[in-house]
Amino acid sequence: MYQYNQIDQRLVRERVEEYRGQVQRRVAGDLDEDEFRPLRLMNGLYLQRHAYMLRVAVPYGLMRSDQVRKLAFIADHYDRGYGHWTTRQNLQYN
């Protein structure tokens, strides 16, 4: 399994903070949907009909048990209790 090093962890933290700021700007009305669309698509958030779908990438298709449990927690609390695995080893929440 690939092990994230300190550089990887820093890059992920920075990207999360950047997207968090973009979402806050969208919610506050500082970004309209046309401005926000490319930002959300880069981060796996898709608008399908009348609801969003979030795609979670699973690097190399490998996860530890605590990571799987965290994804199950997200499904239970923010979706309908399950997610959908894709053919590209990603998880989707609707």
Contact 44, 55 (CB under 8 A): yes
Three-class secondary structure of residue 8 per DSSP: helix
The predicted pLDDT at position 34 comes to: 95
pLDDT at residue 7, as a whole number: 95
35/62 Cα distance (integer angstroms):
34
| pLDDT given for residue 48 in this prediction | 87
CATH number of 44-94: 3.30.70.3340
pTM: 0.74
How many alpha carbons fall within 13 Å on the CB side of residue 73?
A: 6
pLDDT by 10-residue block (mean), the chain, 94 residues: 86 94 96 94 90 88 91 94 90 93
What would the two tokens of residue 37 be? 């669309």
State residue 52's pLDDT score: 87
Locate the domains of the chain by residue range: 1-43, 44-94
